């Protein structure tokens, strides 16, 4: 994860690699990574081993082990095989490159990963593992248990694993690491709140939901925005503001309005908006990806027109 894949990446694209246009490959958003050398005396490496091992222990119904000294001793006895680069590996660089599975080498390339991760599969090794599993007797003792993510139980190693794994990856790319508290905050998308405040806000939201359910003869003035601060204490209510109305030709619309279309191509979409609504589309995006814009090169426009 933090060594072999990085070394394979650098084998395919060395630090001084150039693109087809002669520019440095490792430039802009692409950082030149550094493979990490396994060191059982490194606290970050050890924390990853402890968390990963205990998560696997839970999967197999085994008791957790938290003695760092004994785990460090076992980890120090592990001999890591030296990296040997694989040939014939293709890594996605352009977004329009197709997925590739090289049957001769058993390579599966993850073409959707923006961080250029490599997933390697040795077909012969995989076949031998499958065959060995078929010969393994099954019993109730071999039951496995999935670990469902829970950020608020400090003894389950979930946040510990995320912290260690993300910090190791950050070290690969010379990115500032984060402590456990910050990781927990990000991983859990925690919004600081007090239980009493949460209860009050939930109650106010439910009052507004009752109004929506019984929407007979309701106007926007019947609904309320609420502002509360129990520390002061302060309770304030105001009338909500209607969404601003805009207009194109003779049609009024707000940010709540939508065009509902069937599964059509980009070219058909542009033609539909022009023909049915008299609108010229200057830009179209999906999520964070820009699919079309008026300033695109002609060749790229033609390539994207058949997209759906």
pLDDT in tens, 293-308: 888 888 888 888 988 8
Is 149 in the same domain as 26? yes
The residue with greater pLDDT, 110 or 13, is: 13
Is 165 in the same domain as 293? no
* Lowest mean pLDDT across 75-79, 147-151, 266-270: 147-151
Is 214 in the same domain as 293? no
Is 157 in the same domain as 264? no
What percent of the chain clears pLDDT 70, i.e. is strictly above it? 84
Is 252 in the same domain as 212? no
Is the pLDDT score of 139 beyond 50? yes
Q: How many domains does the chain have?
A: 3
Is 108 in the same domain as 202? no
**CB-count burial class (<10 Å; 0-12, 13-18, 19+) for 245:** exposed
Is 171 in the same domain as 295? no
The residue with greater pLDDT, 8 or 140, is: 8
Is 202 in the same domain as 150? no
Is 29 in the same domain as 99? yes
Q: Which of 161, 187, 213 is the last residue of a domain?
A: 187
Is the pLDDT score of 81 beyond 50? yes
Structure tokens at 247: 């207009």
* Lowest mean pLDDT across 25-39, 109-123, 165-179: 109-123
Instruction: Say whether 227 sits in a helix, a strand or coil.
Output: strand
Q: Name the phi and psi angles at 268, rounded to 5.
A: -65, -35
Q: Find the CATH number of the domain harbouring 282.
A: 3.10.290.60
- Owning domain of residue 133: 4-187
Angle subtended by helix axes 158-172 and 43-59, to nearest 10 = 140
Is 181 in the same domain as 112? yes
Q: Which of 171, 187, 203 is the last residue of a domain?
A: 187
User: In the structure, what pLDDT confidence band is assigned to residue 118 with cuts at 50, 70 and 90?
Assistant: very low
Is 121 in the same domain as 211? no
Is 151 in the same domain as 10? yes
Nearest 5°: the CA angle 219, 223, 226 is: 160
The predicted pLDDT at position 237 comes to 92
Would the pTM of this model clear 0.75, i.e. be above it? no
């Amino acid at each position: 994860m933090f060594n072999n894949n990085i070394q394979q990446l650098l084998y395919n694209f060395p630090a001084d690699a150039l693109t087809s246009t002669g520019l440095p490959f490792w430039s802009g958003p692409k950082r030149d990574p550094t493979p990490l050398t396994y060191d059982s005396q490194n606290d970050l490496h050890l924390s990853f081993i402890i968390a990963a091992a205990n998560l696997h222990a839970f999967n197999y119904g085994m008791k957790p082990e938290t003695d760092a000294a004994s785990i460090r001793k076992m980890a120090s006895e592990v001999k890591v095989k030296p990296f040997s680069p694989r040939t014939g590996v293709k890594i996605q660089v352009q977004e329009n490159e197709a997925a590739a599975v090289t049957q001769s080498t058993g390579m599966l390339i993850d073409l959707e990963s923006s961080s250029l991760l490599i997933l390697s599969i040795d077909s012969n090794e995989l076949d031998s593992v499958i065959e060995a599993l078929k010969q393994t007797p099954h019993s109730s003792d071999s039951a496995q248990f999935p670990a469902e993510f829970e950020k608020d139980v400090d003894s389950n190693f979930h946040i510990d694993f995320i912290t260690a794994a993300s910090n190791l990856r950050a070290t690969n790319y010379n990115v500032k690491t984060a402590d456990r508290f910050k990781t927990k905050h990000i991983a859990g998308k925690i919004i600081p709140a007090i239980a009493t405040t949460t209860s009050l806000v939930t109650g106010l939201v439910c009052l507004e939901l009752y109004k929506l359910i019984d929407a007979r003869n309701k106007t926007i003035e019947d609904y309320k925005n609420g502002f509360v601060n129990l520390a002061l204490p302060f309770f304030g209510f105001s009338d909500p503001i209607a969404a601003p109305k805009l207009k194109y030709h003779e049609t009024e619309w707000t940010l709540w309005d939508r065009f509902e279309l069937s599964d059509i191509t980009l070219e058909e979409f542009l033609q539909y908006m022009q023909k049915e609504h008299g609108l010229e589309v200057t830009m179209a995006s999906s999520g964070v990806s820009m699919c079309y814009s008026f300033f695109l090169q002609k060749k790229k426009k033609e390539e994207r027109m058949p997209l759906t």
